[in-house]
A and B are shown apart, each in its own frame.
Chain A
Amino acid sequence: EVQLVESGGGLVKPGGSLRLSCAASEFTFSTYTMNWARQAPGKGLEWVSSITGSSSYIYYADSVKGRFTISRDNAKNSLYLQMNSLRAEDTAVYYCVKVDHLAMTRWGQGTLVTVSP
């Protein structure tokens, strides 16, 4: 069964940085587009970023453009999200998501990022 396990969340001060990781297993990771999505406490879902299988195409939500960087290492079956210049409004559970036919078919359990002084 497809497994997506996020890590790297935690408490960080405003203006700080954090790097999230997602370990993928039980599917051919390199052939799938992957997304990051997030959910602020008590709020709805928000798409954050997408990266195609070969990293040829990368897209970001306007809310994170210029501050977040998505990347992947297909040899390690891993997805990353480098988050810089963090703001209070970036506080959320961040999900690693497998994409198939432009649908988000499988979600990880999420990792909580809290941005607070």
Chain B
Amino acid sequence: QSALTQPASVSGSPGQSITISCSGTSRDVGGYNYVSWYQQHPGKAPKLMIYDVSNRPSGVSNRFSGSKSGNTASLTISGLQAEDEADYYCSSYTSSNTYVFGTGTKVTVL
């Protein structure tokens, strides 16, 4: 199972919006609405930010939103803040009853 494809890095200024893409196949991202997104600060465990493509867990800021079109999912962070600087990973459930993660994106707040 190959990793989902994400850009290596995305940057933006405080207050701006950025979007991270996550490309897969019909066997994962395109086949199921079970795409999730995780935020990971250095030295910390990942934290769930979005599940089922576009749902936010309780306590996650509404500045984070998710969407999907075909085999590509996206995470948008609006009103970028310094605390959003972290690594972000997408993940999808697959047709093999397994999970696959994305390659990861480093978000830098300029």
Residues of A at the B interface (CB closer than 8 Å) are 35, 37, 44-47, 50, 57, 59, 61-62, 95, 101-110
Contact = CB atoms under 8 A, between A and B. Distances in A.
A50 B45 contact: no
A103 B34 CA distance: 7
Given A101-B52, A104-B36, A105-B57, A47 B97 contact: no
B46 interface: yes
Contacts of B81: none
Interface residues of B, number: 26
Contacts, number: 62
Q: Chain A interface mostly helix, strand, loop or mixed? A: strand
B104 interface: yes
A45 B98 contact: no
Contacts of B48: 103-106
A101 B89 CA distance: 18
Nearest to A4: B45
Given A44-B89, A45-B89, A57-B97, A107 B102 contact: no
